[in-house]
Amino acid sequence: MDEKRDEPNLSYRNGISQIQLYGEFTTKASRKVRYAVSLTERDLTVQKITSAPAGRSKVVFNLRDCVGCRAFKPDDNTDVGAYFSAYFYPFKKRWMSSGVARQRTEQCFRVASGLDPHLNLEEAQRWARAISEGSAHQRPQRNGVVYSEVCRPCKVLLLLNPHSGKGQALSLFTGHVQRMLHEASIPHTLVVTERQNHARELVREADLTKWDALVIMSGDGLLFEVVNGLMEREDWEEAIQTPLGILPGGSGNALAASIHHYAGSQPVSSEELLVSCGFLLCKGLVTRLDLTSVCLGSAPQPQRLFSFLSLAWGFVADVDIESEKYRHVGAARFTVGTLVRLASLRVYQGKLAYLPAEAAAAASTSTDTPLCPASSSTTSEVPSAHTHPHPTSSSPHGFCSSLVCRSSRASPGQNVTHTFHNYCNSNNASKAKRGRDRPPLAPALGRGRAPDSLLVPLDQPVPSDWTVVPEEDFVLVLAMYQSHLSEDLQAAPDSTLEDGLIHLFYIKAGISRATLLRLFLAMEKGAHVDASCPHLVHAKVRALRLEPYSAKGTITVDGELVDYGPVQAQVHGSLARLIAS
C-alpha cells in the first residue's frame, strides 16, 4: 500500500509544540485501518494512514478540551493488545440547529506493538498518562482571573436533590455526569438528599478533610443550603474555602448558566449546559466567589444568611415563588411565571438605599479607626442591637454584628490577594497546608464571621455616604452578584464571580406592561442594561437596605423564600471558592 502521511517531525521548535509521543495504532472498531497518532503539549493529532493526499484525513484534538484518558485491557482474553481512550468535549456545531455546544468525542486506540500483553498495556498506560497530564496543563486563560487546581485525584462529595427541576436530576447524573467523572478519574460519593435542609445539616457536620470539593447537582437552592451550612460551622473560615462545584439539575440554574457564560461560551440550556458544567468540573480549576451577607430584621428572630446569587423583591421574587407550580416544565417555568405576573402587574412600596461602589472605595482609603471590631458569637444570627457591648475579641468564631456598629468602612475583599498556589500538591500535604497556604483574607473577614463593616443597625438611618432612592413605588428590586438570573436571563451581564460588587437593579412604577416585557426579552442577551429605559436603574453597589412598607410579601435570596421584612446586605469579596473557569 502506498501510505502517505505527514512525517512526524520530532524536532519542532520556535513556538511550535514538539511531538512528545508518536505511535501507529488501530482502533477498537477495526484492525484494518491504521492511524498515526502524535501528541504535543497542546494537541493530539490523529491521521488515518491511507493513500489519500496527506492532510485530508487528519484530525487535531486540543488538549484543552480533554477531561482525561484511560488505559485498559481488552475484554477478550485472547487479544494481546491494550487500549487507551482519550475523552474530548470540543465545541461542535449542533445537529439541526445553529450555534455550538460541547459534545463528547472518544478517541480509542489499540496498542499492539508486540505479542506481550503486559508491554502493550504499559505502552497504553504511558499514552494515557501523557495525555491526562497534557490536558491538565492546558487550561483556559481569561484575563485577570487566576486559578488554582483541585487536588488530583480529587475526591468529590456530590449532593443531589432528586426533586429539583423536573425531578430528573438523578437520571441526568447517571446519563452524563457519572461517565464524565469516570473519564476524568474523579472519585466521588453521591448523596441523594432526602428532604429540604438535609444538605445544609450534612455539610455543617461533615468531616471536610475527607473531601477536596463539594459539588451539588440541583438548582441554586441546594447550593444555598451548602453555602449556609458551611458558614454555620465553628470552623467556617476554613470550611468556606472548600472548592464548590455546581451541576445544573434544577429549574433555576442561574449560577451554572453564569459560569458557562464566564467561560466565554455561547448560550446553551438543559443537557448541553450540564455537559458544559460537567466539563468545567472535570477540568477542576478553582476561582474565587463573592458572597453577600443578608441580614433579615424581621420578627421574631433576626437572621443572617449568605447568598451567592441574588436578592429579589417585587416582580422577580413573586415569579420565583409563584412559578413553583409550573416546575414540571423545567427552566421554562420562569417564562410562564413572568407572563402570568405581567398580566397582573402590581406596584410594591418601600424604601431603598445603597452604598455606591465608588463611595465605598473612597471611604476605604480613609484612615478611620474601626468602630466595630469582631465580637464573640457562634451563631450566624444577628445579635440584638442592644446587646453588643463587646470590645475587640480575638475569638476565631466571633462575628461583628452588622446591626450594631460601624467599622472602618473598608471595602471588603479589597485586600484579598488574587494569586494563590496550588495548595493540593498531594492529598495529605494539602490538608495540612490548607490553612497555611491560603491567601490572606481581607482584615474585615479575618476577624469574626465575615463582619458587615458597611452596615449599621436597621433601626438607625443609613450612613451619609449612602444613596437613598427618592422613589418609593417599585415594580421590582433585584440585587445580582452573578450574570444570570436563570438559564436564559442575563440580568447582570457585566457581573463576574469575584468583582466584589452587587449589581442593583430597580424598576420604578409607571412602566407599561409592554415595556416591561420588552426589558425581559432584551434580558436574554443582557441588552436591557443599554435599552435606555427611564424606569430601569442599574447601580453598582457594595451594600443596600430595603424596607418594604407592606406587612406581607415575598423576598427571595438565591431564589429561596426568606422571612419577609426589612433587609440589608453587604458583599464580601472572594469569600468562597468555586470550580469554574
Catalytic sites, residue numbers: 220
- Minimum separation from the CB atom of position 145 to Mg ion (A): 13
DSSP 335-388: HHHHHHHHHT---EEEEEEEEEHHHHHHHHTS-PPPS------SSSSPPPTTS-
Which CB atom, from 172 or from 546, has the smaller least distance to ligand ADP?
172
Work out which of 68, 134, 221, 302 binds ligand ADP, going by CB under 6 A.
221
Which CB atom, from 368 or from 494, has the smaller least distance to Mg ion?
494
Closest CA to 500 of 314, 338, 291: 291
Report the partner that residue 196 touches, choosing among Mg ion, ligand ADP, none (CB closer than 5 to 8 A by kind): ligand ADP
E strands, 194-347, where? 213-218, 244-248, 285-296, 303-307, 310-314
Binding footprint of ligand ADP, residue count (CB under 6 A): 21
Which CB atom, from 206 or from 222, has the smaller least distance to ligand ADP?
222
Report the partner that residue 499 touches, choosing among ligand ADP, Mg ion, none (CB closer than 5 to 8 A by kind): Mg ion
Report the partner that residue 495 touches, choosing among Mg ion, ligand ADP, none (CB closer than 5 to 8 A by kind): Mg ion
| Contact between 91 and 100 (Cβ < 8 Å) | yes
Can residue 487 be called a binding residue for ligand ADP (CB under 6 A)? no
Report the partner that residue 13 touches, choosing among Mg ion, ligand ADP, none (CB closer than 5 to 8 A by kind): none
Report the partner that residue 43 touches, choosing among ligand ADP, Mg ion, none (CB closer than 5 to 8 A by kind): none
- Minimum separation from the CB atom of position 251 to ligand ADP (A): 4
Report the partner that residue 48 touches, choosing among Mg ion, ligand ADP, none (CB closer than 5 to 8 A by kind): none
- Minimum separation from the CB atom of position 163 to ligand ADP (A): 5
Report the C-alpha gap between 183 and 468 in whole angstroms. Answer: 53
**Other C-beta atoms lying within 10 Å of the C-beta of residue 393:** 17
Report the C-alpha gap between 116 and 2 in whole angstroms. Answer: 29
User: Is the Cα dihedral 305, 311, 312, 316 positive or negative?
Assistant: negative
- Minimum separation from the CB atom of position 193 to ligand ADP (A): 4
Which CB atom, from 152 or from 333, has the smaller least distance to ligand ADP?
333
| Contact between 244 and 267 (Cβ < 8 Å) | no
Report the C-alpha gap between 125 and 303 in whole angstroms. Answer: 54
Closest CA to 578 of 184, 259, 343: 259
- Binders of Mg ion in range 478-507 (CB under 5 A): 481, 495, 499
Report the C-alpha gap between 37 and 138 in whole angstroms. Answer: 19
Work out which of 81, 219, 284, 548 binds ligand ADP, going by CB under 6 A.
219
Which CB atom, from 251 or from 495, has the smaller least distance to Mg ion?
495
257: CB partners within 8 A, 6+ apart: 248, 267, 269, 273, 483, 484, 486, 487, 488
CA angle 292, 399, 357 (to 5 degrees): 35
- Binders of ligand ADP in range 511-570 (CB under 6 A): 559-560
Report the partner that residue 565 touches, choosing among Mg ion, ligand ADP, none (CB closer than 5 to 8 A by kind): none
- Minimum separation from the CB atom of position 568 to ligand ADP (A): 23
- Minimum separation from the CB atom of position 298 to ligand ADP (A): 19
Which CB atom, from 258 or from 574, has the smaller least distance to ligand ADP?
258
- Binders of ligand ADP in range 250-289 (CB under 6 A): 250-252
Which CB atom, from 194 or from 207, has the smaller least distance to ligand ADP?
194
Which CB atom, from 257 or from 456, has the smaller least distance to ligand ADP?
257
Report the C-alpha gap between 484 and 486 in whole angstroms. Answer: 5
- Minimum separation from the CB atom of position 272 to ligand ADP (A): 17
Report the partner that residue 163 touches, choosing among ligand ADP, Mg ion, none (CB closer than 5 to 8 A by kind): ligand ADP
φ/ψ of residue 152, rounded to 5: -120, 125
* Candidates 220-228, 367-375, 522-530, 570-578; binding stretch for ligand ADP (CB under 6 A): 220-228
Which CB atom, from 37 or from 442, has the smaller least distance to Mg ion?
442
Residue with cell 437552592: 221
**Residue of closest CB approach to ligand ADP:** 219
Q: What is the Cα 136 distance to its own chain's centre?
A: 19
Report the C-alpha gap between 278 and 284 in whole angstroms. Answer: 10
Can residue 558 be called a binding residue for Mg ion (CB under 5 A)? no
Can residue 218 be called a binding residue for ligand ADP (CB under 6 A)? yes
- List the x/- string, 452-481, binding to Mg ion by CB under 5 A: -----------------------------x
Report the C-alpha gap between 201 and 192 in whole angstroms. Answer: 13
Report the partner that residue 566 touches, choosing among Mg ion, ligand ADP, none (CB closer than 5 to 8 A by kind): none
- Paired sense of beta strands 473-480 and 467-468, if any: unpaired
| Contact between 298 and 531 (Cβ < 8 Å) | no
Closest CA to 291 of 501, 437, 447: 501
Strand partners, 4: 50
Which CB atom, from 221 or from 413, has the smaller least distance to ligand ADP?
221
Residue with cell 409550573: 326
- Minimum separation from the CB atom of position 196 to ligand ADP (A): 4
**Other C-beta atoms lying within 10 Å of the C-beta of residue 543:** 31
Report the partner that residue 135 touches, choosing among Mg ion, ligand ADP, none (CB closer than 5 to 8 A by kind): none
- Binders of ligand ADP in range 139-198 (CB under 6 A): 161-165, 193-196, 198
Give me the residues that bind ligand ADP (CB under 6 A), please.
Answer: 161-165, 193-196, 198, 218-222, 225, 250-252, 559-560
Interface positions with Mg ion (CB under 5 A): 481, 495, 499
